[in-house]
Amino acid sequence: MSPQTTDLLIVIQWGFLFYFAALNTGYLILNVVSFFNIRHYMDAQVLSELPRTYTAFKPPISILVPAYNEEATITASVRSLLQLAYDQFEVIVINDGSKDDTLEALRREFQLEPFPEAYWVKLPTQPVRAIWRSRIHPNLRVIDKDNGGKADALNAGINASRYPLFCAVDADSVLQRNSLQLIVEPFIEDSRTIAAGGTIRIVNGCTVKEGFLVSVGLPEKWLPLLQIVEYLRAFLFGRMGWSALNAMLVISGAFGLFRKTSVIEVGGYRTGTVGEDMELVVRLHRHHRKRRIPYRIVFVPNPICWTEAPESLAVLKAQRVRWQRGLSESLSMNMGLLFSGNGGWISWGAFPFTLLFEWFGVFVELAGYVFMIAGFGLGIVSGQALFAFALVSVALGVLLSVSALVLEEMSFHLYPRYSDLARLFLAAVLENFGYRQMILYWRFIGMLRWMFGPEGHWGAMPRSASWQSRL
């Protein structure tokens, strides 16, 4: 082997090692921060368990439900939303030019009648065709508009909303009766709060009755089970850690609460993106940091929203490709946040971390796999080296998942049986053998689609809703 090749290999080797060390240091810090934060949160809960009433001071909330071809599930979703335990709220369904009978289903079920709304265009959207209000639930309105995508639908909902806080909810989200009570707390506790997101859990395997979760369980199928481990990791030490540093970059579109004036100030949701939820949060950070406006974007660790995970590879692939595109759009559109003077943890921590490890990391990780496998094939990477690095990679993956299980046990311990824990651990091990590599490949495709593909549109996901059949 020529000296130049050897030098090149040494550079590559140190590049990978540096990347690996930086990534793990980041995860370690997040883990430690999450550990202390979750302990503090759980300790503080001891008084929340006592009967206290803050009802008179809870700000009213507008729940926005964008719907596109949701004919089959929309009425059940809205019915459950109308039963949420909260003093004052309204539900606004935005029918984004559905091609099916979404509007008709709503009209029948809730006795909708035309409403002479003095519609205020705070955010530009596709034309609104009509606004309806329920005769039996005066706090339910439906906006029927031309198709413009999820972000456009949410903007129309913001325009029609009456209350200072709005809650963006996916039409298929399963909430708990007290979800609004829990997620509004950061707004009551600190007037600087402009957005809050809760833990999203996977509903596959659980029992849902009349739109509400009644018991928690694990799915029989492996694909959603593997995603449960992923969600635990992402929420319990990812978002929890960044939230403690006021540097959380994502609030899931499935359930998030926002201060309306702050969102309008930044121009609402950005249309033409597939990651409108993340992009909005990143833009809110950028806006407030740039203008030095004190603010907080908060993560509520309580599991307050449940969503269905894809059960087929094709649907999972579409979801992950979309997520990676969304991530790419959100970061690239807000590059001004990177290392900005007044940026704090968001500019010097979360943003570069996400950029390097979740965005650009796709290429590095993929290159790592190719290098190791090709190197082994070409004889420049020994069997021992391949084994040693595979061991580290798998062990780290399992370690991170198991640390999420520890945080789960410290906090909500939702999965009741020992066998559930055993299955989750097994999933944490197995995901390293094929699943993670598959997800990495789909993220790579997402990057390519972002670079070369057409503009994004509604990320409709076919649902099996198997949990719904257990009514």
Partner 1 sequence: MVSAAFSDSIIRYAAWTGLAMLVLIVLMLFQVARLRYALRDRAEQEKHFLELWRPLLMQELSGIRTPLPQLKSGEEEPFLKLWNHLQDTLRGPAHQYLNDVAVRCGMAEHAQRLLRQGGLRSKLLGLATLGHLGEHSVWNEIVEMTRDPDSILSMAALGSLLKIDAPQALRELLPRMIEREDWPVAQLAILIEEAGEHSSFSFLMDAAERMESASEPEELARLRRALHLLEVVPPQKALPVVRHIMKSATDEEVLAQCLRFLIEPSDLPEVRRMTEHAAWAVRLQAAQALSRIGSLEDVPVLSKLLGDPVWWVRYRSAQALVSLARGDGAVLDRIREQIDDRLGRDMLTMAMVEGGKT
Binding mask 415-434 for partner 1 (x = CB under 8 A): ---x--x---x---------
Task: Return the structure tokens found at 381.
Answer: 């990477």
- Residue ranges with strand state E in 170-322: 174-175, 193-202, 207-209, 212-215, 255-259, 296-307
Stretch that binds partner 1, among 268-276, 324-332, 357-365, 389-397 (CB under 8 A): 389-397
Stretch that binds partner 1, among 182-190, 335-343, 431-439, 458-466 (CB under 8 A): 182-190
Smallest gap from residue 40 Cβ to partner 1 (A): 6
Of 391 and 471, nearer to partner 1 (C-beta) is 391
Stretch that binds partner 1, among 88-96, 183-191, 324-332, 349-357 (CB under 8 A): 183-191
On whether the CB atoms of residues 299 and 243 are closer than 8 A, the answer is: yes
Query: Which residue in the set 85, 136, 388, 460 belongs to the binding site for partner 1 (CB under 8 A)?
Result: 388
Smallest gap from residue 385 Cβ to partner 1 (A): 4
- List C-alpha distances in Å: 304 to 197, 254, 429: 9, 10, 27
Using the 8-state DSSP alphabet, how is residue 148 labeled? -
Query: Which residue in the set 333, 366, 399, 445 belongs to the binding site for partner 1 (CB under 8 A)?
Result: 399
Which among 240, 200, 192, 209 has a CA at the least distance from the CA of 323?
200
Query: Which residue in the set 396, 414, 445, 461 belongs to the binding site for partner 1 (CB under 8 A)?
Result: 396
2 binds partner 1, rule: CB under 8 A: no
Stretch that binds partner 1, among 95-103, 114-122, 262-270, 436-444 (CB under 8 A): 114-122
| Size of interface with partner 1, in residues (CB under 8 A) | 60
User: Environment class of residue 425 by beta-carbon count within 10 Å: exposed (0-12), middle (13-18) or buried (19+)?
Assistant: middle
Which among 440, 248, 414 has a CA at the least distance from the CA of 360?
440
Query: Which residue in the set 32, 188, 214, 426 belongs to the binding site for partner 1 (CB under 8 A)?
Result: 188
Smallest gap from residue 390 Cβ to partner 1 (A): 8
The Cα 256–Cα 416 span in angstroms is: 27
Smallest gap from residue 454 Cβ to partner 1 (A): 36
Stretch that binds partner 1, among 273-281, 333-341, 394-402, 458-466 (CB under 8 A): 394-402
Of 138 and 434, nearer to partner 1 (C-beta) is 138
| Contacts to partner 1 from residues 3-62, by CB under 8 A | 6, 9, 12-13, 17, 40, 42-44, 46-47, 49-54, 56-57
The residues with which 397 forms a beta bridge, in sequence order, are none
Q: Do the strands 255-259 and 89-96 form a parallel or antiparallel pair, or are they unpaired?
A: unpaired
Binding mask 126-145 for partner 1 (x = CB under 8 A): -------x----x-------
Q: Residue 101 in 3-state DSSP?
A: coil
Query: Which residue in the set 2, 4, 99, 116 belongs to the binding site for partner 1 (CB under 8 A)?
Result: 116
Q: Do the strands 255-259 and 61-67 form a parallel or antiparallel pair, or are they unpaired?
A: unpaired
On whether the CB atoms of residues 296 and 345 are closer than 8 A, the answer is: no
On whether the CB atoms of residues 424 and 228 are closer than 8 A, the answer is: yes
On whether the CB atoms of residues 414 and 303 are closer than 8 A, the answer is: yes
- Total Cβ atoms within 10 A of residue 116: 7
Alpha helix stretches (DSSP H) within 193-312: 222-232, 240-244, 260-265, 276-290
292 binds partner 1, rule: CB under 8 A: no
Q: Residue 96 in 3-state DSSP?
A: strand
261 binds partner 1, rule: CB under 8 A: no
On whether the CB atoms of residues 238 and 30 are closer than 8 A, the answer is: yes
Smallest gap from residue 45 Cβ to partner 1 (A): 8
Of 1 and 314, nearer to partner 1 (C-beta) is 1
Residues contributing to the site for partner 1 (CB under 8 A): 1, 6, 9, 12-13, 17, 40, 42-44, 46-47, 49-54, 56-57, 115-118, 120, 133, 138, 188-191, 371, 375, 379-385, 387-389, 391-392, 394-396, 398-399, 402-403, 405-406, 409-410, 413, 418, 421, 425
